[in-house]
Structure 1
Amino acid sequence: MMLAGLIFATEEADDKPGALAATLPFGGMTLIEYQARLLIACGAGHLMIAVARVTPALLGAVNRIAKRGVAIDIVRSAEEASAKAHPLAAVIVLADGLVTTEAAVRLAAGSAPDTLIVSEDAGSQIAVERVDAGHVWAGIAAIAAQRLADTAALPREYDFQSTLLRVAVQAGAHQVQLPTSARRAGHGVERNSSTLASRSNAVLAALATRRTSWADRFVFTPITRLALPLLVSRGIPPWSVVATGGVVAVGAVAMILLDWTIAGVVGAVAAVATLSTGSLLGWLRGDDRLARRQEAAIAIVSALAAIALGAMTARAEMTLTALVLAIALVVTGAIGERARARPAFWWGSPAGYLLLLAVATIAGYPAIGLAIVASYAAATLAAAVEALREKA
């Protein structure tokens, strides 16, 4: 099914006369860029921006969105939107000034056309407009392209967003409840710049919980949740985080090879934490390629640290056992990472293996740590193979 996005950007900011709410800062970019980022991540290949007027800030945001390789059109009416939209497309609508999460947008993207995301909480920022006696529209909808044509056929003296909602309701649109996770992440309409900044931090914190492994949940996600808002508020570019992580990683491996093993493995963990934060920062800024490269770098840093630790331990013990265990860990872990099955909470990951190695090294038992972690990687690989067999 072809997906398109329709973002409304007509309302002014409450505390900045002349500025559109859609162009207020959010997460190191503008709100409309963040909304476009969510739609693109959910598979939208065409974006339409519904405007009443075009400001320099809006034009700049649209130009930056276009650099992400998606077709984008500015439309001023339902007639223009109907003419630009593919007749067979499902259109994901985002309300003016809406702050939400990728999970909420994916819910609409995965629904049949003419589906409204709704809530029963009429007295909060979630409520955009009342749908019926018991529900309010939560600002996200999936509509058939025909609804744009239906709206265009009505008299011009109407509010585009509101009328489109009414047309969808009259067409018998299904209603789906807004996910609780979106509520916790600060879902709602906001047109005040200072309040939007606090909402930005809530969404950034939710973004940091996307990873599900135990190492990320208990160690790297808390670090990222603290660091990401600080990086965004200071406008730190993603490449600088990559550079920092790379320098720390090289230094860490060098320290291990110089037989400063404890300092080296701790430095490797710090490098992984930096790259983990940088990966999410890249995702937020719309640079998926950079984000994926940093995820790959985490695996490379963990593997190099393990091999270096195995080599130095083998040298100290005058036996190849530790080096063989390190190689087995890297090979088994790499094959396990190739598994396509959805990982379970307990499964190992490059970051998790490195954490366990760091604990064993600090405790003074690097060889035993390599043996345990190699066995853990083998168990993870076995579980991944079984999961793939069940799926087949």
Structure 2
Amino acid sequence: MLAGLIFATEDADDRAGVLAATLPFGGLTLIEFQARLLASAGASQIILVVARMTPELLGAISRIGRRGVAVDAVRTAIEAVEKLHPLARVLVVADGVVTTGDVVQSLAAAGQDTLLVTDQDDRHYERVGANAAWAGLALLDGNRIAEVAAMPRDYDFQSTLLRAAAQAGADQVRLDSHMAPGHGIERNAQALARRGNGTVAALVARPLRWADRFLFSPLVRLALPPLMTRAVPTMAALALALALAIAAVATIALGHPAIGMAVACVALLGGKIGASLAWVRDEGPLVRFTDYAVPAMAALAVSVVGYAADRPAGLILAVVLLIAAALLERAAPAEHQRRLWASPVAYPLVMLPLLIAGQPLVALASAGLYAAVTLAAAIEAFREKP
């Protein structure tokens, strides 16, 4: 199994008495960001090495635990050994490390003890040789922790662990140049704030299906940093999305389906932004709400287009589309999805050009056919890979 060991012992450079690990970082604290990277890399247990407990640190520990990983706080190597699983491989994160998921996941895949090193000259980096400095990440066998636990307790845990790993012959992997700009050790509050929003926004998952991946996801990543910088509440983004959805429905009902569907697409984008803000901030109930709210907004817009078109043909086409779309979401687990498959946000996009051309029935039929073809592909994929 994989465990994480995060050091949180140093004070911030510009805030006396405040642990650097609890400084704000993109709507989170730095230690929560580090824990997310470890959990994404497969860590099922996280050990926090702390010098003292603070209210901010207690809150961060509680929020980390809600993500489904076991979290323990220790002060010494002896306590760490007692908490670690005896067969665990340990991903070590130095105090104040800012990095990317790609770096952490590539290190987690290493087959033996590995130190990530760099040739950068920074006072926060500890030297491990004449031409290399430790970049703050390592993958080590649990026995290295036990070796440190057997040493005098007044030794610095982090530095001693680094020396023990280096002397045991751990591989030294140099940080790739293209990953270096996103990696560093930082304990300055202002510098972390500048780096945090963009870095955390990059954690937002890239969906597979085309409409989410190539249209909505890039716009969400673009919008998140300024929203997090201004501390815009998640509820504000969701309220705006719902207001736009209501405006879209009213516009379609008043006989302007193309304009209404365009507004609906903007509402869906707002819903996606709200969902991402909720995910970043660990607002579980709001995440679950958006899981239903975004498809519901798309379904409502489609339904009103069908009602406002020639009846009963428009209503029939709308109902067929909604049934096929609902069945598709039930039959399309993430591991079976394909890039060109339909999704709830794709139907308004497919319909919009035909609505602009004044063909609501053709728009409904095209979206319904798209949903039906994707549903058939999903069923076949499920049959091939049960």
TM-score bracket, shorter-length normalisation: 0.7 to 0.9
Q: CA deviation at 1:50?
A: 1.0
Asked whether the equivalents of residues 207 and 280 of structure 1 are also in contact (C-alpha less than 8 Å), the reply is: no
Gaps of 5+ in 1: none
Distance 1:241 1:228 in 2: 11
CA contact (8 A) 1:115 1:176 kept: no
CA distance in 2, matches of 1:240, 1:281: 11
Spell out the pairing of 1:24-63 with structure 2 (5 A cutoff). Answer: 24-42=23-41, 44-63=43-62
Match of 1:225 in 2: 221
SS at match of 2:345: helix
Number of the residue aligned with 2:116: 118
1:291 Cα deviation (Å)?
A: 2.3
Shift of 1:61: 3.1
- Equivalent residue, structure 2, for 1:158: 155
After the TM superposition, which residues 274-353 of structure 1 pair with which residues of structure 2 at under 5 Å, given as runs? Answer: 274-288=270-284, 290-315=286-311, 319-320=312-313, 322-337=314-329, 338-340=331-333, 341-353=335-347
> SS where residue 163 of structure 1 aligns?
helix
Describe the superposition over 1:84-105 as per-residue Cα deviations: whole angstroms up to 9, x where unpaired: 2232334332221112334444
Separation in structure 1 between the aligned mates of residue 230 and residue 65 of structure 2, nearest angstrom = 25
Q: CA deviation at 1:26?
A: 0.6
- Percent sequence identity over aligned pairs: 48
CA RMSD of the aligned region, Å? Answer: 3.3
> Which residue in 1 is equivalent to 2:259?
263
* Structure 2 letter corresponding to 1:328: V
Contact 1:118 1:135 survives alignment (8 Å):
no
Q: Does 1:380 align with 2:383?
A: no
Contact in 1 for aligned 2:252/2:261 (Cα 8 Å): yes
Alpha-carbon distance between aligned partners in 2 of 1:288 and 1:122, rounded to the nearest angstrom: 41
2:155 aligned counterpart, secondary structure? coil
Letter in 1 for 2:332: A
AA of the residue aligned to 1:280: S
**Structure 1 residue 272: deviation in Å?**
0.9
Aligned partners of 2:114 and 2:173 also within 8 Å = yes
Q: How far apart are the structure 2 equivalents of 1:183 and 1:345?
A: 31
Counterpart contact for 1:332–1:381, Cα < 8 Å: yes
Helix, strand or coil: the match of 1:350? coil
Q: How do residues 79-228 of structure 1 correspond to structure 2 at under 5 angstroms?
A: 79-109=78-108, 114-116=112-114, 118=116, 121-123=118-120, 128-129=125-126, 137-171=134-168, 173=170, 183=180, 186-208=182-204, 210-228=206-224
Change (3 A) 1:187 1:387: farther
Distance 2:175 2:318 in 1: 47
Does the C-alpha gap of structure 1 residues 98 and 314 become closer, same or farther in structure 2, counting only changes over 3 Å?
farther
SS class of match (1:191): coil
Q: Distance in 1 between matches of 2:360 and 2:203?
A: 34
1:16 pairs with 2:15: yes
The number of residue pairs the alignment matches comes to: 384
Secondary structure of the 2:137 match is strand
Opposite residue 378 of structure 2, the aligned amino acid is A
The offset of 1:308, in angstroms, is 1.9
Per-residue displacement from partner, 1:221-280 (whole Å, max 9, x unpaired)? 333123211221222332333333233323433433343423321232122111111111
The equivalent position to 1:364 in structure 2, one of 342, 358, 366, is 358
Which runs of 5 or more structure 2 residues have no equivalent in the other structure? none
What is the TM-score normalised by the length of structure 1?
Answer: 0.83
Counterparts of 1:347 and 1:90 in 2: how far apart (Å)? 39
